[in-house]
Chain A
Amino acid sequence: MRENGYLSGSNLERVLRAGRFAVTGELGPPQSADGSVIREKAALLQGACDAVNITDNQTAIVRMSSIGAGTIVVQEGLEPVIQMTCRDRNRLAIQSDLLGAYALGMRNVLALSGDHQTFGNHPAAKNVHDIDSVQLVQVIADMRDKGVFQCGEAFKGQEPRFFVGAAAAPFAHPLDFRPYRLAKKVNAGANFIQTQLIYDIEAFKGYMEKVRKLGLHEKVYILAGVGPLKSPAMARYMRDNVPGMLIPDAIMERMSAAGAPWAGKEELSKEDKKARSQAWREEGIKITIELIQQLRAIEGVAGVHIMAIEWEEAVRPIVEGAGLLPRPVLEPAA
Chain B
Amino acid sequence: MIVAEAKPLDEIKRLVADAEKILVVGCGTCVTVCFAGGAREAAVTASMLRMAGRLEGIERQVTDVTVQRQCDWEYVDPIADQVAAVDLVLSLGCGVGVQALVERFPDAWVVPGLNTKFMGVTLEQGVWAERCAGCGDCLLGLTGGICPIARCSKQLLNGPCGGSIDGHCEISAETPCAWQLIYDRLAGKGKLDALLEVQPPKDWRPARHGGPRQIVRDDLRLNEAEVGQPAEQEA
Q: Give me the interface of A with B, judged by CB distance under 8 Å.
A: 86-87, 91, 113-116, 118-119, 127, 129-135, 138-139, 150, 167-169, 172-174, 177, 180-181, 183-184, 187-188, 196, 243-244
B154 touches A129 (CB 8 A): yes
* Closest A-B pairs by Cβ, 5 of them: A169-B162, A243-B165, A134-B158, A132-B156, A113-B161
Please name the residue on chain A nearest to B186 by beta carbon: A177
Contacts of A135 in B (CB 8 A): 157-158, 198-201
- B159 beta carbon closer than 8 Å to chain A: yes
Provide the B149-160 mask, 1 if CB < 8 A to any CB of A, else 0. Answer: 000011111111
Say which one of B3-11, B28-36, B176-184 lies at the interface with A: B176-184
A134 touches B198 (CB 8 A): yes
Q: In the complex the two chains form, what is the Cα distance from A187 to B200 in whole Å?
A: 12
A173 touches B170 (CB 8 A): no
Task: Known A86-B154, A150-B201, A174-B184; judge A184-B162 contact (CB<8 A).
Answer: no
Write the nearest CB–CB distance from B92 to chain A, whole angstroms. 27
Write the nearest CB–CB distance from A127 to chain B, whole angstroms. 7
Task: Known A181-B160, A243-B170; judge A129-B155 contact (CB<8 A).
Answer: yes
A180 touches B196 (CB 8 A): yes
Q: In the complex the two chains form, what is the Cα distance from A169 to B165 in whole Å?
A: 11
Q: In the complex the two chains form, what is the Cα distance from A173 to B180 in whole Å?
A: 7
Task: Known A113-B156, A132-B157, A184-B196; judge A173-B167 contact (CB<8 A).
Answer: yes
Q: In the complex the two chains form, what is the Cα distance from A180 to B194 in whole Å?
A: 12
Write the nearest CB–CB distance from B93 to chain A, whole angstroms. 26
Q: In the complex the two chains form, what is the Cα distance from A232 to B127 in whole Å?
A: 40
- Chain B residues 197 to 211 lying within 8 A of chain A, measured CB to CB, are 198-201, 204
| Most chain B C-beta atoms within 10 Å of own C-beta, residue among A114, A116, A132, A196 | A132
A183 touches B196 (CB 8 A): yes
Contacts of B192 in A (CB 8 A): 177
Write the nearest CB–CB distance from B169 to chain A, whole angstroms. 8
- B228 beta carbon closer than 8 Å to chain A: no
Instruction: Give which listed residue, B163, B165, B198, contacts A187 with CB less than 8 A.
Output: B198
Q: In the complex the two chains form, what is the Cα distance from A91 to B209 in whole Å?
A: 13
Q: In the complex the two chains form, what is the Cα distance from A244 to B166 in whole Å?
A: 9
Contacts of B154 in A (CB 8 A): 86-87, 113-114, 116, 127, 129, 132
Contacts of B171 in A (CB 8 A): 116, 118-119
Contacts of B158 in A (CB 8 A): 132-135, 181, 184
Task: Known A115-B170, A118-B171, A127-B154; judge A172-B198 contact (CB<8 A).
Answer: no
Contacts of A138 in B (CB 8 A): 198, 200
Please name the residue on chain A nearest to B172 by beta carbon: A118
Contacts of A127 in B (CB 8 A): 154
Instruction: Give which listed residue, B153, B196, B199, B201, contacts A116 with CB less than 8 A.
Output: B153
Instruction: Give which listed residue, A130, A132, A167, contacts B162 with CB less than 8 A.
Output: A167
Write the nearest CB–CB distance from B147 to chain A, whole angstroms. 14
Contacts of B159 in A (CB 8 A): 132
B183 touches A177 (CB 8 A): yes
Contacts of A129 in B (CB 8 A): 154-156
Write the nearest CB–CB distance from B144 to chain A, whole angstroms. 14
B161 touches A173 (CB 8 A): no
Write the nearest CB–CB distance from B130 to chain A, whole angstroms. 16
Q: In the complex the two chains form, what is the Cα distance from A116 to B170 in whole Å?
A: 8
Q: In the complex the two chains form, what is the Cα distance from A86 to B157 in whole Å?
A: 12
Please name the residue on chain B nearest to A243 by beta carbon: B165
- B164 beta carbon closer than 8 Å to chain A: yes
B162 touches A172 (CB 8 A): yes
B165 touches A244 (CB 8 A): yes
Task: Known A130-B204, A138-B198, A187-B198; judge A115-B160 contact (CB<8 A).
Answer: no
Write the nearest CB–CB distance from B207 to chain A, whole angstroms. 11
Q: In the complex the two chains form, what is the Cα distance from A130 to B161 in whole Å?
A: 15
Given contacts A116-B171, A187-B198, 18 further A-B contacts (CB under 8 A): A87-B154, A91-B201, A113-B156, A116-B153, A129-B156, A132-B156, A133-B158, A134-B158, A134-B198, A168-B162, A169-B163, A172-B164, A174-B164, A174-B183, A196-B162, A243-B164, A244-B162, A244-B165
Contacts of A130 in B (CB 8 A): 201, 204
A-B contact pairs, 22 of them (CB 8 A): A119-B170, A127-B154, A129-B155, A130-B201, A132-B156, A132-B159, A134-B158, A150-B201, A167-B162, A168-B162, A169-B161, A172-B160, A172-B162, A173-B164, A173-B167, A174-B180, A174-B184, A180-B196, A184-B198, A196-B162, A243-B165, A244-B165
